[in-house]
Structure formats: structure tokens, C-alpha cells
Structure 1
């Protein structure tokens, strides 16, 4: 399921979405959200938003392939990073709310994969020139949480009221959205490009372990957050396919307008 263009990324994500819907799998949640972000990036190409469109499409494809390869390898029981393994294994955890499934995917993909992808489209001499576009792609990625909250409101309209009711839940969302990821992914990319090839594998392993610990916190949050999540889980309506379609609705509208 490896992609070579941004259009192929969108197509492959659509395959995962449709397969997840037919199998009643929660895998479709993150795929639907990620397809939305990819479409946003595609819409920005060729319009002066990025300094280097060619490099940004290359980054997008390499970045997406980290997820696509992890998904494909997990399906055939091949070894993958710990952070993705935790996210995928959690797909059968019936106690997790949709938001937790999405945050697990965001955590693995942004906090681990983004820095790796950025390091693969540049080197220690040219990485500084990537920073403005890297920040712009981060701005697009930062919309993930906003899109999550807006789309999940269709699954359970009272969700936003509960999230706003508790500042602790608010802080939980911020901590696992872009607050941690913005600077850390860029720092990780710089660390990788400045390291020798023999050191990179160890750095990735260490980062994977760090991100995996965050995954555990998403699955097992504090007592107050956990109690509110239980209430949310009881109120979530529909099967996984219904929830995936709710998340996909915005994506379909964007595809129609391309």
C-alpha cells in the first residue's frame, strides 16, 4: 500500500476507510481524519502557500507512507514501531472513545513519524530552509483537534459540552494535540539529520519508546478524565462504521470540490 504521489495517498486512505467500514473496524477513524488533512495539503500545493511545493509533496508522501506501511505490516503481523502497534492493538478496546483512537494515531504519526519524514527530504545543510514550510504543515496538522471536536459532535452532540465543562479534559486534549508535537517533531528532525547513519536507528528507537509512553497515557488517563470518557463512551451512538462515516463526511465534501 505504498504511495508515490499525494493522490495515491488519498486513494490508499480511502481503501482503508472503506475496508474499515465493511469490517466494522475502528481503523477507519484515523484514516478518515488523516485523509482530510492530506486533502488540505493538496489544496495548498501550487498556490504559493509553501516555499517549495515539490519538496512538500515529497514530505507528505514519505510521511503518509510511514502510516500506510505500518497499517499494512500490522495486518500481516510484521514488526512495526511500538507506538503504532499500541494504536492498532487498541482498535479492539471497546472501552476507548473515538477521540482516544484518534489521539493514539496522531501521537504515533506526528510525534514519531513527522520528524523522521522531515529528515528524509533534507540534510544538515538544507534543513534550515525547510523550517518555514515545516511550520506551515504543522499549522495544517494543528487543525486536527478542531476537526476532531467538530466531527465528533455529529456522533454525540453533548460531547463538546462535556469537554468544555472540565478544564482537565481540555488540558488533556491540548497535551496530546500539537502542544507537545510542534517543537518536538522539529527538534527530532534536526537531531536525525545531524546524526550518522549508524546512530539514527537508535535515536528512532528511543523516540518510539518515548512516544509509546504517551500512548499509554492516552489509553489510561487520570481518574477524572477516565470517568468523563466513560460517560462519553456510554453516549456514543452507532457502530464503528457509523462513526467512521460521520468523520468521513467532511472529507467527502472536500473530494467533491477538488
Structure 2
């Protein structure tokens, strides 16, 4: 099995999860869709005769290891919801998620329970996945081989994802929210994360935090930092420092409908790469 085949299996599993989330009207669907599109774009690059990577096998390994972190977290969320007999938007607080759900994903789930919008669902999940899951995946990879020798390929992955993400917002809006370009931006002012530049910056910070985790003198604070970052990001978006904007957003959440749509499973195709 080639590295591209391994990444294809990851994309297929993300598509399967996306379909389940859509069936259940679960806010996790929109990020699963974005993640599947980006993964298929990486797969398409890995299938080229000239991938542009020095070590395509390492790139595929990082993609699968990173997806594992996400899928394990989603399994833990599913178990917590089932144990509570709750739907994906029923639990009012991140503290309601016990057990194996990592703190950043608790913060994301808690946001879902307070009238989240499509773009928020994606951005909060991206923040947890890049700021928390990615350093952990890189650390796991370094257990068998130092990742420092792969920094060039890591940044080339940024190029692939950056090229793909330019078209992701259009697909996201078409699938879940026709008003994404206008309405959702009111509620998620930090949408720069869903851009080529935003992904590069966030992934660069994840690489830096991987180095911090590897340093015994900085490891504890690094783990604490990546655990806090998603919650801080959610608060920054939903409760900005400017009290006037905070008041406007608070009132708007009760006056403006969510405008969320759900594709029909019989007619909507699986996620495809943005090339």
C-alpha cells in the first residue's frame, strides 16, 4: 500500500464520519467535510509522479497519525454524549465532558451548545485540531524518527493545504450555509484561520510547540498552553473585549436564525479535492 493509499483511507473514514454527523444533524459535520476535502487534496498530490516532497512516506505518515488524534477524540465525544443520553448540542459546559475527551475538544463541544454558526463550528474545530492534535501527532512521529529533518516537507504540506483551502469556503457555504460569506462572518470574526496564511501560521506554531514539548524544562507549560488555546480562541470570537461588539453579538444570536442547511444524503456527493 502506498502513502497515497493510506491517506485515501483516512479521507474515506472522514467522509464516513461526515455522513454520520450530517445524518444526526451534528455540528461536527462541517469540519469533517473540510478535513476530508483537504485530505483528498493531499492524497491527489501524493499520487503525482512528482509529489514535490522529499519523503512522501513521512508526509503520509503524519497525515494518518494526525487523523488518528482527531478520530480518537471524536470517539471519546461520542462516548460522552451516549453516556449522558444527550445530543451533540445538549451539554451546556465543557465540564460536562468527562473521561477521555481532551480539553480543547470539550471547549469546542461546549460552544456547539450555545447557538454556534457554521463558520464557528469549523474554526473552533480547526483550532483544536491544529493547536492541540498536531503537536501531539508530531511528538508521536518523533518517537521513531526526529521530525526536525522533515521541516521542509512540513512546510510543503502547508503549500498543498493552502492551495486547497482557497476553494474550501465555497464548498462549505454551498453545502451548509448559503449565507456563509456574509452572515456567518458576523459571528466568527477570526475567519483568517480558514485561509492559506492562517493555516501556515497555526501549523508553524504547532511545530514550535512540538519543540517545547520535547524540552523537559518547557514540556509542562507547553502541554498546558496547547490545552488552553482553543478555549481562549472560542472566548475571543464569542466574547470580544469591545463591550459594544460583545452586546451586538449577544443580541444577534437570538434574533438572527442560524441559516444552517443539511444536504440530502441521497443526492450529495462525498468530499472531493480542491486542486
Query: Is the TM value for this pair above 0.5?
Result: yes
**Distance apart, 1:173 and its partner CA:** 1.9
| Superposition map of 1:48-127 within 5 A | 48-77=51-80, 78-93=99-114, 95-122=115-142, 126-127=146-147
Give a deviation string over 1:77-135, Cα, whole Å, max 9, x none.
23222111111233333x22100000011000011211221232236984332111111
Does 2:134 match 1:133? no
CA distance in 1, matches of 2:209, 2:139: 8
Deviation at 1:68?
Answer: 0.3
The match for 1:6 is: 7
Q: CA-atom RMSD, angstroms?
A: 3.8
Higher relative contact order (CA 8 A, sep 6+): 1
Q: Is the 8 A contact 1:156 1:235 kept in 2?
A: no
Match of 1:174 in 2: 192
In 1, distance between residues paired with 2:106 and 2:266?
Answer: 24
SS at match of 1:121: helix
1:203-228 Cα shifts (integer Å, max 9, x gaps): 32332123321232233345548847
Q: CA deviation at 1:163?
A: 8.0
Could you tell me which runs of 5 or more consecutive residues in structure 2 were left unpaired when the two chains were aligned: 81-98
Cα distance, 1:68–1:124 mapped onto 2, change above 3 Å: closer
Q: Deviations over 1:45-72 (max 9, x none)?
A: 1532221111111101110111100000
Contact persistence 2:66–2:134 (CA under 8 A): yes
Aligned residues: 244
Task: Pick the aligned partner of 1:205 from 221, 224, 227.
Answer: 224
Query: In the alignment, which residue of structure 2 is the partner of 1:42?
Result: 43
